[in-house]
Structure 1
Amino acid sequence: MVIMPLPIYILGFTLFAMTTSEFMVAGLISSMAQDLQVSIPDIGYLITIYSLGMVVGGPLLAAVLIKVGNKTALLVISLLFLAAQSVATFSHSWELLAVARFFTGLSSAAFFGFALLAASKMVDPARFGVAASIVLGGMMIAMVFGLPLSALLDRYLGWRAAFSLVIVLTALAALGIMLFVPEVKAEKQGSIRAEVNSVFHPGLWLAYSTSFFIIAATFAVFSYFVPYFSGAAGFSTKSIPAILFAYGLCSVIGNIIVGRVADKIPLRVIFYGGLLLIAALIGLYTLVESKTAVLLSVMMMGLTGITLTPAMSARVFRVTENTSLINTLHTSVICLGVVVGSWGGGYAIDAGLGFRSPILLGLVLAAIAMLTMLPGVRLRRQPVPE
């Protein structure tokens, strides 16, 4: 096991706290709707709004802070997130909660970029991949522990207790950053023209479109897991935290598997992962009468979807020169997929199509994702790189 400097783990812990805030609404959706006296789709839209903050506000906040030291930027972002999460916790109106969610998404997106930059300054270049996997691993751990823990707190203490947990975790993370993360002066590198030119590659946008539709398909369904489990599949509310834990655990396993092979065969990983996602969604929709089949389908879905992100990133890197703009745009595309997927699933439920309707939407989006990979799959027949 490779031991990294303590600040690397602190950055991963911070992302764990922030990502728990992003995902937790999916597990609190029913109680939040009841408490705020709004519809379930209205609460689902809070996931959309969070991701919209990541798409729109994240790059803007990063641009504002680009000239300050990395430690200062990380602290400013963490404190902004902490303030927005506090407002969200004590909000008694959907509108105020929505504004707070936008700012938590905004700060979370900016933290991703600065955390990876800080990690790159603290380790040798040859070990950056390991450091990055620890930092970003906070996101997967949030799905394993943060999501079911928040659902458990909601069951016994209410959704505000779950939101309060994120406040405590973020405050601890900010303290850790203040005490242990070294100050590194930001460096602005590269040519703006080269960065812009790197975007004008047709294969890049084909790769972006695959990422968008895979993530949109995943979040159209994931965002409404709780009403599906309790309203369509007939599970008791007591069992939902355990189901979410199983989903998160499979996501971690899937992330480990994908991480091992993503650099070698990214397109194949995405293609077969897409097929697995479609199979899981078919199981969730057609086998709803069997709790065992639903559980197996949920676990199968956990192995794919968001866990394909490393492979999707590796595919993007192979298409054209790797630049900061390419990476930023890919993050925005993924967040936009969350926005469209969670909004679309909520719209389907709001239209009276039932709690299984987001799964049908997910199937359509996943099928489109498969179509975007066909040109690359055909190229695999030729002796050229993906």
Structure 2
Amino acid sequence: MTTRSKLPPTVYLLGLTIFSLVTAEFMVAGMMPALASAFSVSLAQVGNLIALYALGMALGGPPVTMLLLSRGISNQRALVGLLAVYVLAGALAAAAPTYTVLALARIVMGVSSAACIGLCMTLCAGLVSLQDRGRAISVVLAGLMLSPVAGVPATAWVEHHYGWRASAWLVVALASLCTVLVATRLPRAEAGDEPSLGSQWISLKNRSLWGAYVTSGLIIGATFAAFSYCTPILIEEVGVAPAQVAPLLALYGVANVLGNMVVGRIADRHTYAALGWGLALLVLALGGFALAGQVFWLNLACFLTVGLTGVALNPAMVARVMKAAEPGALVNTLHTSVITAGLALGSWAGGAVIDAGLGLRAPLWLGAGMALLGLLSLLRPWYHASPAAAAR
């Protein structure tokens, strides 16, 4: 009987690091009224703080990574440096005297966060054997899954009792701890040990890699086209009481974590099957959610099934990218940027179809369509990767 090798503690450290980064990204959602009151701005302007963070991630991560690679800085040193920048920007945000300062600080946090997540993926791949990559990636990405379940509610609780600045400083403290641990616990690498910028740039000239990027963007876009508007859908279309929304969102987060664990176990050996069947299930769940009407159990089942798939397919998405190209920092950071762009596109498009007068459930149909496109983008590589095709 074969036994699974034990993952090194540093894999869990990288997961904690991503947890701190993603919590800072979404914590604004749990303290919107407090921020609007503190800076005398509208809720829409507070919502822009999340969008600005995401914009920094989508546009700033790859150029920063390319700059670090061109300097020959090792991945471990680059991660420590970028986390230090992140901590400084987080401290500026926590102490921000005006909305403009807070917004600028959030942009810097987003830029450094995208590069940090890409580096965490790259360093994780180098810490474990090839056959353990999917499992290790799922542990690191569990930090992303746990953030909305534990991190955002915790910061909202702190804000309620001690104010929004206390929440911001708490995240800064956690990021500072991660910075120190990454600097002292991760294996040190000499400059030049990692693939050069030139070799990583060449790896981007790969149709399979860009195919993986497209599928990933469509998966996340489909998920957030629906999830961004799930609260009004649940309240106004399904008839859920406002007080019941938070527990349902918590259940959705638990489904994310469980799905991530399951997909992480099979991502290495069955990458395309995990993505293909996951996307098929996502199409059915979103379509079923759109057609469920007032049937509470069907709405709930479809909503939680979206949680079990969607974002939870991340380990398989990362595994596919790592199979398409050497998992260098630039490849992984660009993947993070594509995912962030998919999130922004899905959320925007979901709002656009509502504004067009197509109804609150229209984002669910939009998400189902994007998921179907993702499935179609996967069919050809899935077929060529099958044992039957390989035997011909």
For the criterion TM > 0.5, the same-fold answer is: yes
Unmatched runs of 5 consecutive residues or more in structure 2: none
Asked whether the 8 Å contact 1:49–1:339 carries over to 2, the reply is: no
* Aligned 1:304-383 pairs, distance under 5 A: 304-318=309-323, 320-322=324-326, 324=328, 325-349=330-354, 355-376=360-381, 379=384, 383=388
Match of 2:257 among 252, 267, 270: 252
Which residues of 2 match residues 125-204 of structure 1 at below 5 A? 131-153=136-158, 162-178=167-183, 180-181=185-186, 183-190=188-195, 194-204=199-209
1:265 to 261, 264, 270: 270
Matched residue SS, 1:200: coil
Find the aligned partners of 1:30 and 1:346 in 2 and give their Cα distance. 21
> Do 1:152 and 1:241's aligned partners in 2 also have CA atoms closer than 8 Å?
no
The answer to whether the 8 Å contact 2:275/2:317 transfers is: yes
Alpha carbons of structure 1 residues 222 and 165: separation in structure 2 relative to 1, 3 Å? farther
Q: Which amino acid counterpart does residue 309 of structure 2 have in structure 1?
A: T
The answer to whether the Cα contact below 8 Å between 1:28 and 1:154 also exists between their aligned partners in 2 is yes
Q: Does 1:38 align with 2:49?
A: no
1:290 is displaced (CA, Å) by 4.2
Give the distance between the partners of 1:376 and 1:131, measured in 2 at CA: 24
1:19 is the counterpart of 2:28: no
Q: Distance in 1 between matches of 2:179 and 2:284?
A: 41
Shift of 1:149: 3.3
What is the TM-score normalised by the length of structure 1? 0.81
Rounded to whole Å, the distance in 1 between the matches of 2:313 and 2:390 is: 19
Task: Report if aligned partners of 2:94, 2:168 keep a CA contact under 8 Å in 1.
Answer: yes
2:66 alignment counterpart: 63
Secondary structure of the residue that 1:252 maps to in structure 2?
helix
- Deviation string 1:217-238 (CA, Å, 9 cap, x unpaired) is 1122223334444455444444
Q: Find the aligned partners of 1:29 and 1:207 in 2 and give their Cα distance.
A: 35
1:182 to partner: Cα distance: 5.3
Contact 1:7–1:181 (CA<8 Å) still a contact in 2?
Answer: yes
How many residues matched?
384
In 2: Cα distance, 1:175 partner to 1:376 partner: 42
Change (3 A) 1:15 1:321: closer
Aligned twin of 2:283: 278
Cα displacement (A) at 1:213? 0.9
Offset, 1:70:
4.9
Cα distance change of structure 1 residues 84 and 118 upon mapping to structure 2, 3 Å threshold: same
Inter-partner Cα distance in structure 2 for 1:380 and 1:179: 41
- The Cα of 1:150 is off from its aligned counterpart by 4.0
Q: 8 Å contact 1:140–1:251 — kept in the other structure?
A: yes
Deviates more, 1:184-193 or 1:332-341: 184-193
CA distance in structure 1 between the aligned counterparts of 2:296 and 2:345, rounded to whole angstroms: 29
* Cα pair distance change 1:336/1:86, threshold 3 Å: same
**Retained in 2: the 8 A contact 1:30–1:227?**
no
Distance change (3 Å), C-alpha of 1:22 and 1:211:
same
C-alpha contact (below 8 Å) 1:149/1:241 kept by paired residues = no
Cα distance in structure 2, aligned partners of 1:128 and 1:270: 16
Distance 2:389 2:289 in 1: 38
- Residue 299 of structure 1 corresponds to 304
What is the aligned partner in structure 2 of residue 104 from structure 1?
109
Determine what percentage of the aligned residue pairs are the same residue: 36
Return the offset for 1:95: 4.9
User: Letter of the aligned partner of 2:60 in structure 1?
Assistant: G
| Runs of 5+ unmatched residues, structure 1 | none
Q: Which residue of 1 aligns with 2:81?
A: 76
**Contact in 1 for aligned 2:141/2:315 (Cα 8 Å):** no
Q: Bigger shift: 231-240 or 367-376?
A: 231-240
Distance in 2, matches of 1:89 and 1:355, equals 35
Per mean C-alpha deviation after superposition, the further-off stretch among 206-215 and 3-12 is: 3-12
Contact in 1 for aligned 2:237/2:293 (Cα 8 Å): yes
Specify whether residues 201 and 65 from structure 1 end up closer, same or farther in structure 2 by C-alpha distance, changes over 3 A only: closer
Please give the secondary structure, in 1, of the residue aligned with 2:15. helix
Which amino acid in 1 is paired with 2:83?
S
- 8 Å CA contact 2:350, 2:366 repeated in 1: yes
In the alignment, which residue of structure 2 is the partner of 1:50? 53
- C-alpha displacement of 1:109: 1.4
Q: CA RMSD in A?
A: 3.7
Q: Which amino acid aligns with 1:38?
A: S
Relative to structure 1, is the Cα distance of residues 271 and 219 closer, same or farther in structure 2, using a 3 angstrom cutoff?
same
Q: In 1, distance between residues paired with 2:165 and 2:242?
A: 18
The separation in 1 between residues aligned to 2:138 and 2:79, in whole angstroms, is: 18
How far is the alpha carbon of 1:340 from its aligned partner? 1.3
